[in-house]
A and B are shown apart, each in its own frame.
Chain A
Amino acid sequence: MNNQPSANKFWAWFNPMGRQVGGWAFILNRITALGLTFYLFLHLIVLNQLAQGPAAYGGFIALTENPIVKLGELLVVAAAIMHGLNGIRIIFTSFGIGVTRQKELFYGFMVVALVAILFFAARMYMG
């Protein structure tokens, strides 16, 4: 019964045993995708405050000053940067660019991601 849903196939993503860089890139792409999808719909729901008027929106904006909410925002920014750059690497290799240099591409993009995340973290927490 090969063609049956299997929860094990999902949980196997989180198994760190025997992974190579490509495996981590694959998992990173999926986990950030799931996180960003969840955030997208949450974001759409929250933006409904704009339709309710200035008081409702003001209350939501005040909430964004909460350090835990800020941490959540930083996680979203980090996920978006990593998913975006990892996605660009996948597009490159899908069209035959850098296929033999995928490890280097991944490491290079993740260094760029790290720098960008640190920049946004500094901007968020230190003004």
Chain B
Amino acid sequence: MTTPTTFKPVSAPRPGENSTLWLIKIATGPVLVLVLILHFTVNHYLGSMSSGLMTYDDVIQYFQNPIIPAIEILFLITVVSHCLIGLRGIILDLNPSRSVLNITTWALVILGVSSVVYGIWLALTIASKSV
């Protein structure tokens, strides 16, 4: 008779993490893998520099297509959500008190919203420039 394996880190919402947040984190994961491959390939391999990186003109030209800022903004919202929900999960591992968790949650919400607002401004600023 074989001994049952002790390797069992099956993911599930932690105490203090509701299932919607957990599901968002899980669902955004594979989306990010795909978008990250695309993002990395375009920005690091298809640019006109010998290293494959994009020059300033490449980036401005790339952002002239209106679908690109839209994709980049969606990517930003997805990656920031995944990151900050994950970070909250890590903080939950430290078993914080309810008041510390509330403060942390609000700090992460403010950080996330600020990052997305900044990212949208940046994407639109780049898109508004001309070569």
Contact = CB atoms under 8 A, between A and B. Distances in A.
A33 B29 CA distance: 12
B33 interface: yes
A102 B5 contact: yes
Interface residues of A, number: 46
A50 B84 CA distance: 25
Among B50, B87, B90, B97, which residue has the most Cβ atoms of chain A within 10 A? B90
Contacts of B90: 30, 33-34
B44 to A, nearest CB: 9
Contact of A91 (B7, B30, B79, B93): B30
Contact of B26 (A5, A10, A94, A127): A94
A15 interface: no
Contacts of B83: 33, 36-37, 40
A61 interface: yes
A5 B100 contact: yes
A66 interface: no
Nearest to B59: A50
B26 A25 contact: no
B61 interface: no
Contacts of A50: 56, 59, 122, 125-126
A33 B125 contact: no
Contacts of B7: 20-22, 102-103
18 contacts: A3-B96, A4-B95, A5-B95, A30-B90, A33-B83, A33-B87, A40-B79, A44-B119, A53-B56, A64-B51, A77-B40, A84-B33, A88-B33, A90-B11, A93-B10, A99-B10, A102-B9, A103-B7
